[in-house]
Chain A
């Protein structure tokens, strides 16, 4: 029991340190920086290179790595985070930082490869025995460092002028700016400080865990959970949350099963979110309902008229229908096209939820998993026909979506993102843990092809047309809904729930409805995915898939229905076409996501459509510039 708790506290110290980084940036900017965990890995890997490859002494290597990571963090923050902060809504900022996480992971993969690295302990391998408990010496380094970081951070924020300025930015950025505080510089500084804390945490923990390019994901998710349990923006909360999380996780691993250890951590998180949504040590201010949440949000408006929509729609369908004859039969390209289409169905659901209704979801792959596993298990173990299994998966997904949406009804923005992330992790941990039914980590094999009655879709060719047909039907249905009062209600809820409710729009009911629609579509996508691959493993539908789907949505163009198809195609087909450059895939994905946020806020489709509209509708453009003139005069 005691060794487990000690192990948990050590593990928890690291979560606490990541959480402190989160809390710092959140306090100054109001944004959760998902790239935080990646700085741990950068710090550790630079230390490895300096110490092992270049032979620097430990102290010098660690100092060099911490400074290097901090400088990198400052540069990254100044180039991407700060310029976007003023322009993007908070949900987009969250996704921007997810893009930064992917970018850093890609960079690490290119520089250090995919091998795991571990550092030697700072003071030898021999554990120390205290009162019968063996504690690795590194444990003292971890605990000590955590304590020092907390003390220094506390001193900096509450006892120095710099700390006062940082806190002023957090309390009221506008007033801080009027007082002559350089808010962007403070934001960069907090970003750099957070990177530094991350690097320190990563370096001290590296000797007891092996790290690789994508370990940042793990640190980010657990740091995020820790800070949510403790209370966003609270430093005490970050530390307590981290320690609780570490202990819970080790206890679960020790007494239940390491396969379920994620699951229990997630349950603790969900319980916290439901009982005390703002965390144990919340520092929140009451929100004023009669003022809009985010004042300066600008969303692009792209509207084709009826004739243009019909023309472009028919053109697109003809092109897509001809596509299988245009690609070389022997290549795997046709399969990739099918996968694009299948994933697009799931992203379409996400588009209704996120793009149209503004509800951030990082758990879309969780519903894919429910749909995929239900249909696959029913087909493999009970011999159910695929169509029936798919329907059963959708029913199960709808029920889960109903529960999830009712439970998270009060949550907004980053808390909702967190709850959906937790849901995805929970489903993932069930898929891994329920070995007997799901096949566990190694996956479920022998899944039949999709069929309707005696009509089998065993070839990529037939599957392509099935998926295309489904997509056309779905887009027509959704287009019908989105251009009517249903879609308008969703778009009203997207940015301003209070004003929507003041117009007699039942916000709760619409939120449940869109959760249901998005879950059903993800479930369908998951089932088709399993039937197409004849195989399903947890990592095919895990959290990184959820993030990928969000990336597809954003790159393609959120809130445009067809835009995400471009995003899905880009992320699925590019790696296929540029096979030799597979190493650079993650890096390219990250760069694409960050650049899209910074330069194409309406996504690829939005930019293309904007260009096309400028080309055809001169009239609209003149009106828009008229408006600007009137606006300038009235100033």
Chain B
């Protein structure tokens, strides 16, 4: 069996005396769709920040397909094909929706800058190909009609979807999505669910932080539960639904008895 897409071993992050993440160990299997759930402040986003090295772990190691991410810059980590989105949609102001999606294609562009400046045929051909691919993504997320509109003019739900397809344009090996359904209405959420399934089926490993339980239970192969910086449970959606500690974390102590 091949190496897991992501292996996190005994990772701990302390801010001063506060342990935001303590001794978390888990694996994300190649080709799976893993959901990370937990109450507010459980450390889900911190975990993502540790994986992409926006924060340096206090202890522990992270491996991406067997390669240690220790000491790599966020850019180098992205260069390996580990691409993330952010909790607050970070579309680029001053660019259209299409241009925002095309930024994602940056790492796939082969034409040298000089060729682009000289308007060479090969560069323009590549540009058309990328645009066609971007249009395809915009189509399936129902954003095509806003293609040439300023991205910051999109409603929040649209901006979140835009960020997801921008990440897909990079052709990631592992996609980390931080609350992609926040701000989406019901129909947008179901579109997102089918998009995520399609992404997983195309062979991309996905890890998603999400609060929307119906989305999580509907699409995830594996669910991990984080509470107060500790991994309290993991398993299939069915197992998690019945897990007492998960109910405790979500509903409170009394209900767990």
Using a CB–CB distance below 8 Å, which chain A residues touch chain B? 289-292, 295, 297-301, 303, 476-478, 480-481, 484-486, 488-489, 491-492, 494-496, 498-507, 513, 559, 620, 623-624, 626-628, 630-631, 634
With A and B bound together, what is the CA distance between A498 and B53 in angstroms? 11
Contact B156 A301 (CB under 8 A): no
> Knowing A297-B93, A631-B155 touch, does A498 contact B117 (C-beta < 8 A)?
no
Task: For B49, list chain A residues within 8 Å (CB).
Answer: 289-290
Contact B102 A303 (CB under 8 A): no
B84 to chain A, nearest CB (A): 6
Task: For B153, list chain A residues within 8 Å (CB).
Answer: 624, 627-628, 631
With A and B bound together, what is the CA distance between A492 and B90 in angstroms? 10
Which of B18-26, B108-116, B224-232 participates in binding chain A? B108-116
Contact A634 B157 (CB under 8 A): yes
Other A-B pairs, 10, CB within 8 Å; known A480-B118, A485-B116, A488-B95 = A299-B150, A300-B94, A492-B103, A496-B92, A501-B74, A501-B75, A501-B78, A502-B86, A503-B103, A631-B153
In the complex, the 7 A-B pairs of residues with the closest C-beta atoms, listed nearest first = A299-B94, A484-B116, A504-B78, A504-B107, A301-B150, A501-B75, A499-B90
Is B170 in contact with chain A by the CB < 8 A criterion?
A: yes
> Knowing A620-B149, A623-B148, A623-B149 touch, does A504 contact B170 (C-beta < 8 A)?
yes
With A and B bound together, what is the CA distance between A16 and B28 in angstroms? 57
Contact B93 A298 (CB under 8 A): yes
A100 to chain B, nearest CB (A): 25
Could you tell me how many residues of chain B have their Cβ less than 8 Å away from some Cβ of chain A? 53
What are 13 A-B contacts with C-beta separation under 8 Å? Answer: A301-B150, A480-B118, A485-B127, A491-B95, A491-B103, A496-B90, A498-B54, A502-B75, A503-B78, A504-B79, A504-B83, A623-B146, A624-B150
> Knowing A481-B117, A620-B148, A634-B156 touch, does A502 contact B74 (C-beta < 8 A)?
yes
Contact B54 A290 (CB under 8 A): yes
A478 interface neighbour in B87, B109, B117, Cβ under 8 Å: B117
Task: For B167, list chain A residues within 8 Å (CB).
Answer: 503
Chain B residues 179 to 227 lying within 8 A of chain A, measured CB to CB, are: 183, 185
Task: For A300, list chain B residues within 8 Å (CB).
Answer: 94, 150
Task: For A484, list chain B residues within 8 Å (CB).
Answer: 109, 111, 113, 116, 123, 127
With A and B bound together, what is the CA distance between A303 and B146 in angstroms? 14
Name, among B93, B102, B127, the residue most crowded by chain A CB atoms within 10 Å (CB to CB).
B93
A242 to chain B, nearest CB (A): 34
With A and B bound together, what is the CA distance between A630 and B153 in angstroms? 10
Contact B119 A290 (CB under 8 A): no
Considering only CB atoms, which chain A residue lies closest to B79 in the complex? A504
Question: What string of 1s and 0s marks CB contacts (under 8 Å) between B64-93 and chain A?
Answer: 000000000111001100011011101011
With A and B bound together, what is the CA distance between A289 and B93 in angstroms? 18
Chain A facing B: main interface SS: helix
Contact A627 B149 (CB under 8 A): yes
Task: For B127, list chain A residues within 8 Å (CB).
Answer: 484-485
Contact B99 A503 (CB under 8 A): no
Task: For A559, list chain B residues within 8 Å (CB).
Answer: 94
Task: For A485, list chain B residues within 8 Å (CB).
Answer: 102, 105-106, 109, 111, 116, 127
A473 to chain B, nearest CB (A): 11
A292 interface neighbour in B88, B95, B107, B183, Cβ under 8 Å: B88
Contact B73 A505 (CB under 8 A): no
Name, among B45, B104, B118, B149, the residue most crowded by chain A CB atoms within 10 Å (CB to CB).
B149
B236 to chain A, nearest CB (A): 30
Is B242 in contact with chain A by the CB < 8 A criterion?
A: no
B92 interface neighbour in A298, A495, A624, Cβ under 8 Å: A495
Task: For A507, list chain B residues within 8 Å (CB).
Answer: 75
With A and B bound together, what is the CA distance between A292 and B91 in angstroms? 10
Task: For A486, list chain B residues within 8 Å (CB).
Answer: 113, 116-117
Considering only CB atoms, which chain B residue lies closest to A358 in the complex? B94
With A and B bound together, what is the CA distance between A144 and B153 in angstroms? 55
> Knowing A484-B127, A485-B105, A486-B116 touch, does A498 contact B92 (C-beta < 8 A)?
no
Is B166 in contact with chain A by the CB < 8 A criterion?
A: yes
A477 interface neighbour in B111, B117, B148, Cβ under 8 Å: B117
Considering only CB atoms, which chain B residue lies closest to A635 in the complex? B155
With A and B bound together, what is the CA distance between A620 and B146 in angstroms? 9
> Knowing A491-B92, A623-B149 touch, does A503 contact B154 (C-beta < 8 A)?
no
B94 interface neighbour in A291, A495, A506, Cβ under 8 Å: A495
B20 to chain A, nearest CB (A): 12
A482 to chain B, nearest CB (A): 9
Task: For B45, list chain A residues within 8 Å (CB).
Answer: 290
B93 interface neighbour in A299, A513, A628, A634, Cβ under 8 Å: A299
Considering only CB atoms, which chain A residue lies closest to B154 in the complex? A627
Task: For B149, list chain A residues within 8 Å (CB).
Answer: 301, 620, 623-624, 627
Considering only CB atoms, which chain B residue lies closest to A297 in the complex? B93
Task: For A500, list chain B residues within 8 Å (CB).
Answer: 92, 103
Contact B96 A488 (CB under 8 A): no
Task: For A290, list chain B residues within 8 Å (CB).
Answer: 45, 49, 54, 86-87
A410 to chain B, nearest CB (A): 13
Contact B145 A503 (CB under 8 A): no
Task: For A501, list chain B residues within 8 Å (CB).
Answer: 73-75, 78
Considering only CB atoms, which chain A residue lies closest to B156 in the complex? A634
With A and B bound together, what is the CA distance between A213 and B92 in angstroms? 42
Considering only CB atoms, which chain B residue lies closest to A496 in the complex? B90
Task: For A301, list chain B residues within 8 Å (CB).
Answer: 94-96, 149-150
B175 to chain A, nearest CB (A): 12
With A and B bound together, what is the CA distance between A609 and B49 in angstroms? 41
Task: For A489, list chain B residues within 8 Å (CB).
Answer: 103, 106
Is B234 in contact with chain A by the CB < 8 A criterion?
A: no
> Knowing A301-B150, A491-B92, A495-B93 touch, does A477 contact B118 (C-beta < 8 A)?
yes
B106 interface neighbour in A292, A477, A488, Cβ under 8 Å: A488
Task: For A496, list chain B residues within 8 Å (CB).
Answer: 90, 92
Task: For A495, list chain B residues within 8 Å (CB).
Answer: 92-94
Is B34 in contact with chain A by the CB < 8 A criterion?
A: no
Task: For B104, list chain A residues within 8 Å (CB).
Answer: 503
